[in-house]
A and B are shown apart, each in its own frame.
Chain A
Amino acid sequence: MGIIEGLVSGFFQAISLEVFPFLLVGAVFGLLIGVIPGLSGHFAMAMVIPFLYGMEPGAGIAFLLGAHSTVAQGGGLTAILFSTPGTGQNAATLLDGPPMRDQGLAGLATGAALASCFLGAAFGAVALALLIPVLQQVVLFFGPPEIFVLAILALTFVAVLGKEDLTRSMIAGLSGLLLAMVGLDNVTNQERFTFGLFELRDGLSLVPVILGLFAVAEMFDLWVRRGSLPGGLHANRLSAKETQKQIFQGIGAAFKHWWLVLRCSAIGATMGLIPGLGSAPAAFVAYGHAKQSSKNKDTFGKGNIEGVIGSEAANDAVEGGALASTLAFGIPGSSSMGILLAGLFILGVETGPNIVTYNVDIVFLMLFTIIIGNLIGTVVGLFLVNPLSRATSLRASILVPILLVIVFTGAFAVNRSGFDIGVAIVFGVLGYLMKELGYSRAALLIGFVLGFAVDKNLYLALQLSGPYFLLDPIPLTLAIITLAFLGYNVWTIIRDKRRAKDNAR
């Protein structure tokens, strides 16, 4: 089957009567799962799997991918409106989303987020289709040495995230790295920092940590200030019409910044290709890039729409990259991809590099499923924004307990473990203190997420290539980029400090 035939066939399959209802249901389901903090794409797909038995491949794919693709969109909504990331990928949106909401620009932020998600997903899907044939060669370049240096590079983006104080963000980032060391070490089977606790053998789970650092900490903050979410002093209560207008403006803004969207989607898709990094780092790296390339760097972190656009575009494009990598090799890049593969197997869809040769219409079906699914998610999301933003202006004494219940349920649900609720609380306290003292929680998170990648890949790199692995072409290039980037930022800060001193005189 030729490419054009496959494209046409895939498209018509996606909108056919047998397939489209499943796509619709899947997309809405995924969106709702994304909105609930603590439930992630992994969970959404695991819930879909039992329904796949006996389904037609087309309908099953639509259901599965439809659910998977909209989770990040839903997560973006809660990140902006409730300062609670619905999933790990949306953590970067917390940097500029809630500040925008506090300024009364919630509609603008959510509109931009939804639209960038859609554009990012479309880009990711297209990248998926284009890349699969050549993927073998591309991904094979990224072995443990390359991933290690890439992870270090992503860590240096922490320097960019630090609003004013480089030292504090470095402390936060490296503390995150340290926290990732908790648990049983894969290599030596030694327990590290577990203090003999059985529950810490597997380390700290990502979801309770994120929920604690960002959601619970916000709840503490709210409790102390005793206001409602949109700012303690001036509760900017937006009318429904005003919100609606802003949403459309937000969508327009995402299209206006199309070049930024494209760049951040590219970053997302590329990082998604690399197995083992996960989706959260991609969003942060894209955010860092958006900040670096922006003309008003200083407004980042205080409510710059470019921050929201960048992170949301990336976190949806990541899925496209991860999917491409998973399909091309039949090897899952992450746990949710693993579930996807299992689902595809149940449906009888063969994966592997031959998928383009034998089943190119399936590839295009997936592509269109992702795009249409995201479109549905955007449209439904538009209608959700207004009722959700009503909720944000509720009194803290009502909002905090409700949100806490949802958050704690989410923390519990990951491993069905009460211990994780404790983890969320502890990190909630930590997150609140960090917020008050000006340490970047985002830096801690990115350090935490990348810690695993850094640790394991360094060991493997040393085992496989010896200590001179840094001298291989790709690691060397990436290392030079890292040092250059870090050097540039440090120089900028010193220069700015000198300027301030000169101005003060």
Chain B
Amino acid sequence: MLGLVKAATPSAPPRRESRRLSTRRYIAKVRRMTKSRVFALSVSALILLPIMFGGLAGCQPSEKNKNTEFDVASFYKGKKIKWIIPYSPGGGYDEYARLLSPYLRKYTGARFDILNLPGAGGMRGANELFASPSDGLTIGMINGSALVTNELVGVKGARYKIDEFEFLGRVVADTHVLIVSNQSGYKSFEQILNAEEEVKIGATGLGGSTYLDAVISKEAFALNLKIIHGFDSSSVIRQAMLRGNIVGSWGSWGSAKDAVDDGRHIVVLQSGTERNADLPDVPTVFEMIEISSNQERTLAIVTAWESLNAVGRPVAVAPGTPADKIQFLRAAFDKAMHDPELLKDLKQAGRAISYASGDEMSHIVESATTMPDDIEQLFVNAIKGEL
């Protein structure tokens, strides 16, 4: 075994032998060099120049603190802003960013460089954004709801604090829907509520949003559900629905849309305080509270659940970013999100939009992170799979 290791480490080729003899001459050469004046001048220049430039650079912030809007706009003109996306190219977050960036460019004057940093279910991107320099040149789109739940549970590896991000605004908060296969025999939420046998609901990973929705809805409405989690992705869940292995699952309306339009899946329940324009006949979770036996508790759970969903997919910058830059970016984001051309693009791409301003986001995050203790404990247990 050792012989192999020896073979693996390359031995120095023979040519070097001749150089070793002239090492002494080389050292002598260096000695001569250091005594020359030219050498001393260049070394001092090399040391002094960075100090000078550093000093000049140090002077600049005080000039910037003049705080006029014009200055901030000219700061951003022509600059490159990094936009962190916590998922791989080709996914939903990526698509939103690529659709949005030309409009943000229009209103900020800066170029956007989209940086895909996938990993840890969106946490890597959030960590990177949190740790990024607070010069206003890095923004990120984060999976807000997932980050809140991760922080609630105290997941290892979460190197951010959700309420310390400076929010520019929210792009979308997906409507969550409970879908069932059209062959399952269930056509409405009441039927599921009154089901005699266990209703098999599929979910992806433990602690993920489809799992959480299933467990919380089960708890809130005392449903007779058997939650089968561990499916790789929502596509695999849909296949299992087709096969009849499971009755249905929770998911976002955007991804369920085409199967529902086809008639293969039926939406029985939706999240939100108001019915989504696409789903006028489907009751919301709030409407269903009145059928519950313990209305107060159900209301508390559903309110907390809704505040969690409301966080959605916001865009944020790192904590400590100067207020004038935040204002500028927020204003630009607001204008971009109301641009009729963008709305047209989003419609063509089939992507929903539910804008909330940066200010509103801070309130939304606050209500998502402050729940009554018993409800919080419920959610923590739910996420951990201990319910």
Contact = CB atoms under 8 A, between A and B. Distances in A.
A31 interface: no
B259 interface: yes
Nearest to B98: A50
Nearest to A416: B117
Interface stretch (B25-33, B240-248, B289-297): B240-248
Residue among A144, A332, A354, A456 with max Cβ neighbours from chain B (10 Å) = A144
B65 interface: no
Interface stretch (B202-210, B266-274, B319-327, B335-343): B202-210
Given A50-B98, A224-B10, A186 B206 contact: yes
A321 interface: no
Contacts of B133: none
B188 interface: no
B238 interface: yes
Given A143-B240, A275-B239, A201 B119 contact: yes
Contacts of A460: 228, 230-231, 240
B239 A342 contact: no
Contacts of B240: 143-144, 460, 464
A335 B88 contact: yes
B204 A186 contact: yes
B98 A463 contact: no
Nearest to B8: A224
Given A140-B242, A329-B242, A433-B4, A342 B10 contact: no
A224 B207 CA distance: 49
Nearest to A136: B242
A161 interface: no
B206 A331 contact: no
B239 A139 contact: yes
A503 interface: no
Contacts of A345: 349-350
Interface string A226-262: 1000000000000000000000000000000000000
A49 interface: yes
B90 A416 contact: no
Interface residues of B, number: 50
A267 to B, nearest CB: 22
B212 to A, nearest CB: 12
Contacts of A43: 89
Contacts of B231: 456, 460
Interface string A11-54: 00000000000000000000000000000001101110110010
B270 to A, nearest CB: 21
A330 interface: yes
B157 to A, nearest CB: 5
Interface string B100-144: 000000000000000111111000100100000000000000000
A345 B255 CA distance: 12
Given A416-B115, A464-B245, A331 B98 contact: no
A136 B242 CA distance: 9
B187 interface: no
A332 B119 CA distance: 21
Contacts of A330: 258-259, 262
Contacts of B198: none
B236 interface: yes
A189 interface: yes
Nearest to B114: A50
B207 A189 contact: yes
Nearest to B230: A187
A410 interface: no
Contact of A143 (B7, B118, B243, B385): B243
B384 interface: yes
A53 B118 CA distance: 24
Contact of A186 (B89, B230, B239): B230
B235 interface: yes
Contact of A202 (B4, B90, B120, B235): B120
A338 B238 CA distance: 14
A436 interface: yes
B232 interface: yes
Contacts of A331: 235, 238-239
Contacts of B245: 143-144, 464
Among B4, B204, B239, B258, chain A packs the most CB atoms within 10 A around the CB of B239
Contacts of B259: 330, 352
Given A188-B385, A276-B236, A53 B345 contact: yes
Contact of B119 (A189, A199, A335, A342): A199
Nearest to A350: B258
A421 interface: no
A47 B235 CA distance: 23
Chain A CB within 10 A, most for which of B117, B230, B242, B245:
B230
A416 B116 contact: yes
B236 A201 contact: no
A344 to B, nearest CB: 11
A46 B157 contact: no
Given A139-B239, A143-B245, A46 B119 contact: no
Interface in A437-463: 437, 456, 459-460, 463
B69 interface: no
Contacts of A342: 90-91, 95
A346 interface: yes
Contacts of B243: 140, 143
A415 B87 CA distance: 9
Interface string B203-223: 011110000000000000000
A186 B238 contact: no
B238 A352 contact: no
Contacts of B275: none
A354 B349 contact: no
B90 A338 contact: yes
Contact of A275 (B7, B236, B258): B236
A220 interface: yes
A55 to B, nearest CB: 12
B90 A223 contact: no
B119 A417 contact: yes
A331 B256 CA distance: 11
A468 interface: no
Given A188-B385, A345-B350, A463 B345 contact: no
A202 B88 contact: no
Contacts of B4: 433, 436-437
A217 B245 CA distance: 44
A43 B88 CA distance: 10
Question: Which 9 pairs, one residue from A and one from B, show the smallest C-beta to C-beta distance?
Answer: A339-B90, A46-B89, A187-B230, A189-B206, A46-B90, A331-B235, A186-B205, A198-B157, A201-B120
28 contacts: A42-B90, A46-B89, A47-B89, A49-B98, A50-B98, A53-B349, A144-B240, A186-B206, A186-B230, A187-B206, A187-B229, A187-B230, A198-B120, A198-B157, A201-B119, A201-B120, A201-B157, A224-B8, A224-B10, A329-B239, A330-B259, A338-B91, A346-B348, A346-B349, A352-B258, A416-B115, A417-B117, A459-B230
Given A46-B88, A53-B345, A202-B119, 9 more contacts: A53-B349, A198-B127, A201-B119, A224-B7, A224-B8, A338-B235, A416-B115, A416-B117, A456-B230
